[in-house]
Amino acid sequence: MGPAKTRSNLTVALVVVLLCSLLIGMGLLMGSNDVFALEPEASPEVKSDVTPSVSTPAPSEPPAPADEALQLTEQDERVAMRQALRSLQPVTRTVAVGMDVDTAAQTMQCTFVPVYVDGVFGGYSYVVNGNAYLALSDYCTMLGYDFADGEVDGANITCTAAEMPVKATVGASSFMANGRYINAPGNILALDGKLVVPFPALENIFGAKLNYDQALASVAVDTSTKELIEDGESFYGKQDIYWLSRIIYAEANGQPFDGMIGVGNVVLNRVAAPQFANTIYDVIFEAGQFTPVYDGSIYNTPSEEAVRAAEMALDGVSTVGSALYFVNPNACDGSWFAYSLTYVTTIGGHVFYA
């Protein structure tokens, strides 16, 4: 092979080496630069012809599973909540009777029924013999009020609820709260060391409405009417107490306490009736009605019991229903009353008529 042929082959080889070096360098450059990086294959689950929304970019991480209740409207959410809460079923328990659980010698069976305050579960109420009760301390907690234990002296209990003084006697049909006499149909109870109060009394004190639904076996509390009871000093008009307690004392001193309240009921029933005067003073001093006005005993100083009976009557405690008259048949002829009026009840020496 001649010298010319050898130089030609060397030139071709050199060109080939240079081209290979150039290609390798470009390959390395493309692999390290995002501009030249190849687009990876689309995942089989993603359609390549779908264009992502510009205004809502895909999240960097999959979102956590959403709570189904949050996807409901506000109304539907409340319905769902109540339906879920109703899964809490009433339970029957044996409870200790009394304020001292450790030394209680008596127990009783009662049903615990769930209570929902504005649709939210708040605790349990007691159902005893078909009547619904709540522990005063528990109810204060449900409504957001403070409660403070006081003293226990036998059956007598003192405590403070929503900064109001409370005095109650276990077994009594009324008690005092904020200086007011509160009627307690079904009587005051002491269960598991707690003062337990019937629903009507709680409505009177706190204003919120309680509805025991026997069909749903639950209690609903509506706080839209919540308002603490007015204190006794401002509620009981001094003039009303002054004259009502005096007519009660003059007419029923020595009679059973329920009979004293009954005399107060008659006066207040007359105030509300269209055929009589519309104030306590005017009813008492209406001509020909009450003997103590004529014999002067209306001006005697009343006993504490008479004052208490007057306050309870003013607070709605009633022992004689709608009676407008009473008579002591041992002191006068009561035949006209019996013949002309509707008999209501007899308490002590007085017969009450409507």
Contact 100, 161 (CB under 8 A): no
Distance CA 140, CA 208 (A): 11
Looking at the chain, the number of H-run helices and the number of E-run strands are 11, 16
- Domain residues of the chain, as ranges? 85-231, 236-353
Residue 275 three-state SS: coil
3-state secondary structure (DSSP) of residue 112: strand
pTM, to two decimals:
0.63
Q: What is the pLDDT along the chain (354 residues), one digit of tens a residue?
A: 554 444 455 555 554 555 555 555 555 444 444 433 334 444 444 343 444 444 444 444 444 344 444 444 555 555 555 554 455 678 888 899 999 888 878 999 999 999 999 999 999 999 998 889 999 999 999 999 999 999 999 999 999 999 999 999 999 988 999 999 998 988 999 999 999 999 999 999 999 999 999 888 899 999 999 999 999 988 888 889 999 999 999 999 999 999 999 999 999 999 999 999 999 999 999 998 999 999 999 999 999 999 999 999 999 999 999 999 999 988 888 788 888 999 999 999 999 999
236-353 — its CATH code? 1.10.10.2520
| Identity of the residue numbered 283 | V
Q: Take residue 92 and report the two structure tokens written for it.
A: 């029957």
Alpha-carbon distance 28 to 253, whole Å?
Answer: 117
**Which residue, among 215, 186, 222, has the nearest Cα to 201 in the 3D structure?**
186
Kindly indicate whether the domain formed by 85-231 is annotated with CATH number 3.30.457.10: yes
Beta bridge partners of 123: 115
